[in-house]
Structure formats: structure tokens, C-alpha cells
A = this chain, B = another copy of it.
Amino acid sequence: MNNLFSMQDLSTNDMNDLLRTAQAFANGESWTPREQTFAVNLFFEPSTRTKLSFEMAERKLGLEVIPFESGSSSILKGETMEDTLKTLEAIGVDVAVVRHKQDAYYKTLAETVNIKIINGGDGCGQHPTQSLLDLLTIKQEFGKFEGLKVTIVGDLSHSRVARSNTEALTALGAEVFHSGPPEWFEGDPKTADSYVELDQAIGFSDVLMLLRIQHERHENVMELPAEQYHKLYGLTAEREKRMKPESIIMHPGPVNRGVEIADSLVESQKSRIFKQIQNGVYTRMAVLKHILDQ
């Protein structure tokens, strides 16, 4: 594996291999490259938690992390991302984690640059390490994917996580449903069949995966005030009581407390929200190891 751009690049075998490596790191195993190895995190869109998680994963593997401030970069002087990556390669960087708002920014990169690239999120497209950490969290809980019912609640059309997860979970044998404001699904044929009412989903789901409402993307579409959204499409304390006994709650963070989920449920027994954050570090360590250890 030289790059990780999209979950679609991974076979179910690849996914299972990565999950095994990630679980080994979660169990306390360690690994370091034989030679001094340099990583850079190119985040052209702000992201505290994904960037911190990669930074932590890189440090735990003993990598040297070269700081990169996108705000003052040559990209702003008109340099293309391709030239920036070629520069980083010439400087001696081994692996770059890239987040960029352009969908599939990486399409042509693999052929033109030799530096290894991990996609840290592109536009409304992919976010493969987030998908993998979600898979790891589910696998830890249930030991398998076959036969699980997973419901993703929120704005599927703008969510990197939702797309990657739907594909991966389906490939691994889970049944995936979607819920949330119906107007967010109109015209998206991919999700039409899988749509369920939230109150119905609550009753049968093993995993309830809440998406973050991205207020910045819904200026026009979403006119609902936060309390109303919570009542209609959020996980309220009342809804949580109707969930199956062994079921779990997931959310990629950062959480809008009292909107997607009741404040009191964030740290509740069914919540795996902080577990997901922990698993993010182990998952990114696994991806880095698979890419660097060749």
C-alpha cells in the first residue's frame, strides 16, 4: 500500500488487515521504522481533531513531524498542490497527510508524485481513516460486521464519513440504513431505499451513527432551530431508552451537545464517542505502518 485515498481502494481483506494492526496497537504493541522517517500534515481546511490524531499517531510511531502552516504556504503564491508535494518529496518528506476542500483532489497525484499520501478528508468525498476507526469501534464491540444493522443519521449528502462508511460496512456484511431530515435525501438515489424514520431505526439498530450538523453548509436548507432539530432528528434521552440493550451510539465529533444528541448522553453507557477518538490514533498508526513498512 503506497497511498490511502479512498475506502474504495481497499478490499475487505485490506480492511481486515488494517483493523487487525490497529487492534494490536490498541493492545499496546509498538512499531517504529528502522530509519528516521518524516511526515507532514497538509491541512488546507482547518481540523483540530483529525490533525491532532494523525500527529499523535505519527509521534507514537517515532516519526519526525515537520510543521506545515497552510496559511503561509507557497500554494497561496500560486503553486499547485502537485508542486508543493514534489517540493516536500525533494526535501525528504516520506509521507504526507492531506486534507483539502476539493473533492478527489488526489486523482492525479498518485501518478505524478512519489511521496506517500494519506487522504485526511476531501471536500464532500472520502475520509478513509475516519471510516476505519468507525469500523474498529464496531468490530471491538460486536466482533463481526455480518448481520449488524447500522443506521446513519444526518446529512448524508455532505458527509465524507457517511459515504465511506456506507460502502465499507455494506462490503463487510452489515446492513446500513439512513435517517434524518428527508429533504437532505431527496434526489439522492443511492440512499432512497435505505431511508428509515428515526423512531423506527431506534428500535432495530445495533449501531446508531449520528453525523455532525454542519451549520456552515446548511444556511438555506436547514431552517430548523437547534431545539427543533433535536426533537425531530436528534437522539433524545427518551429515544435512547428505546434502543436495544447491546446497541451503541457513535458520533465523529465535534458534538453539538443538545442538537444531534442530548447533552447527558455524550458520556453515557452506550456512547462510544470517546472510544472512537482513542481508536482514531490506533487506526492512523495502522495506516501509517502499512504504508511505511515495506
Contact = CB atoms under 8 A, between A and B. Distances in A.
Nearest to A90: B277
A68 B52 contact: yes
Interface stretch (A159-167, A197-205, A250-258): A250-258
A64 to B, nearest CB: 5
A71 B69 CA distance: 12
A285 to B, nearest CB: 11
Contacts of A179: none
Contact of A66 (B52, B74, B274, B275): B52
Given A55-B66, A64-B59, A254-B74, A91 B277 contact: yes
A8 interface: no
Given A52-B88, A77-B254, A38 B59 contact: yes
Given A66-B55, A68-B52, A281 B92 contact: yes
Interface in A222-253: 253
Nearest to A77: B254
A92 B54 CA distance: 12
B255 A83 contact: yes
Interface string A62-99: 00101111001111011110011011111111000000
B66 A38 contact: no
Number of copies: 3
Nearest to A86: B274
Given A48-B73, A83-B254, A278 B56 contact: no
Interface residues of A, number: 47
B90 A274 contact: yes
Contacts of A67: 55, 67
A254 B60 CA distance: 33
A46 interface: yes
Contact of A52 (B49, B77, B91): B91
B254 A91 contact: no
Of A40, A274, A280, A281, most buried by chain B (CB within 10 Å of CB) is A274
Given A77-B254, A278-B90, A280-B91, A72 B46 contact: yes
A53 interface: yes
23 contacts: A36-B60, A40-B52, A46-B72, A47-B72, A48-B68, A48-B72, A49-B74, A49-B91, A52-B68, A52-B88, A55-B66, A55-B67, A56-B66, A56-B91, A56-B92, A77-B254, A78-B254, A83-B255, A86-B274, A87-B274, A87-B277, A91-B281, A92-B281
Nearest 3 A/B pairs, CB to CB: A46-B72, A90-B277, A79-B254
Interface of A: 36, 38, 40, 46-49, 52-53, 55-56, 59-60, 64, 66-69, 72-75, 77-80, 83-84, 86-93, 253-257, 274-275, 277-278, 280-281
Given A49-B74, A87-B254, 4 more contacts: A48-B73, A48-B84, A56-B92, A83-B254
